[in-house]
Amino acid sequence: MSPSASSASPGEQTASVDPGHLVLLEILDESGLRSSHKLLWFAAAGGMLLDGLSVFMLGIAIPFLVKDFRLSSVQISLTSSSLLLGAVLGAMAGGRFADKFGRKTWLLVDSVGLALAALVCALASGAGVLITGQFLLGTAIGMDFPVGSSEIAECMPVRSRSRAMVAAMTLQAVGMLVGAGTSFLLLEQRPGIPAWRLFFLSEVLLALLFLLLRFIIPESPRWLMAKGRNREAGRAIRWIVRDHDPRLETAIEHLGDTPHVAMKPLSKPRSSGFQTLFDPAYWRRTLLASVPWFMLDVAAYGVGLFTVVLLQALRLGATEGRDSLSLLVIRGGAVDSFLLVGFLIGAWAVPRWGAVRLQIVGFAGMLIGLGLLALSALVRDPAVRWPGLLISFMVFNLSMNAGPNSTTYLLPSELFPTNVRGTGAGFAASVAKLGATLGVFLIPLLEHGGGFEAVLAFLAVVTLAGLGATVHYRVSGLGRGLESHHEASMD
């Protein structure tokens, strides 16, 4: 590791890094994987589980909400898209505030916001309150993307970092499966309280669980070092690695309040925050982090939120009745189960193939899945159509989650330096959520106006655009220590 770093303000550099900081980073990066790492990972990645749960729960709740609140088609689109529109604001603000005030602080804010927003949804008395609650819920979830990813990337051992990042995204698929199981049980029990209220209350309970876990974990040592809070960074490292290294205290005493900054030379040395992202040193990385993620989320959230609606449109069950909805929940859960398998493949493949290469392969696989889906939809016999559609969704979901749905979450943590890592990851996630908002708003309108074929054509176009953007903006030198990605010679 040979980062460009200094005892300078963000955006400035000197010739070499202070040896004391190298010691702290070596102890943190070369540690074995401890139980403390796993606890920190689960606490920081909890927003991904809540994201998957909330998307699935909302998709299942929509038929009930249409009946109870007599929602129009526009209100359905607003209800669905408000969750993701809120995430646009949340990701942008959460990442920037995490760079200013700390990763742990904003993880706690996320959890409180998640619980309160889900409670607003559960107690909603009409479409307006529901849409507002979904917007607030999306804002909190959006915050979690850049903050959680930064905390995980900055605390995990270098050998385990990429797997830990992909595994965090795996919790998104786990959340969808938890949502499928929970909603199925609630539907089968026929509770006296409207089922959709219980769906949202389950999100409240889960958010409170992660709030408790996040009180336990420490602040990111890298963030503390970047602020010159080296003694606190030392305590955080001791908590994480659970090992007494005699070099640690010596390095801390030597460093005092010297901040550690590792980044490429900027054209305007005083640039900070969003200015850094579009400096010539980093603009290509910013586009690689954000454009493919935008295209991915147009497809991923559109399909994810409306999987049950799409299956219903293909007449894979009756269109009315609780038993029909339970069947669609089961089939939707079966389709979404391949999301989890895809993430597991991604966790295995990313360290071997590299994030950019796997992202290219994943987008190509998604195109193949969409082609198979188009062919399967032409089959008239329902007994043959369902297995064909299942295989098509399997190829699409496996390719998506083994590839871009894993790598787009991982890349910002490597592409940006510590002092703007949250800002960069937040900007990329915010752009992605704009894509998600576009997807969930347009897909039901496309399905209503042009049918299933129009939806498939739209998904194929955005998937191809994601593939092209990844190839065009790809950079080299990823997959090493976080600081080494920001040497002057790196693309």
Q: Note the pLDDT of residue 318.
A: 43
Mean pLDDT, the chain, rounded, equals: 83
Provide the whole-model pTM. 0.82
Sign of CA dihedral 400, 404, 409, 410: positive
pLDDT band at 9 (very low <50, low <70, confident <90, very high): very low
Cβ atoms of residues 169 and 340 within 8 Å: no
Question: What mean pLDDT comes out for the span 399-408?
Answer: 89
Could you tell me if 191 and 201 are in contact, meaning their C-beta atoms sit under 8 angstroms apart? no
Q: Give tens-digit pLDDT for 97-136.
A: 999 999 999 999 999 999 999 999 999 998 999 999 999 9
Report which of residues 10 and 100 the model is more confident about: 100
Res 14 pLDDT > 50: no
Q: Band of the pLDDT at 397, cuts 50, 70, 90?
A: confident
For the cut 50, the answer to whether the pLDDT of residue 321 exceeds it is: no
Question: Dihedral through CA 214, CA 219, CA 223, CA 228, nearest 10?
Answer: 160
Report, as an integer, the average pLDDT of 46-69. Answer: 87
pLDDT of residue 353: 86
Q: Are 283 and 427 in contact (CB under 8 A)?
A: no
Cα 490 to the chain's mean position, in Å? 26
Q: pLDDT tens digit string along 334-349?
A: 555 666 777 788 888 8
281 Cβ contact partners less than 8 Å away, ≥ 6 residues apart: 263, 264, 265, 266, 267
Domains of the chain from N-terminus onward = 19-260+271-475 (1.20.1250.20)
Stretch 218-228: mean pLDDT: 95
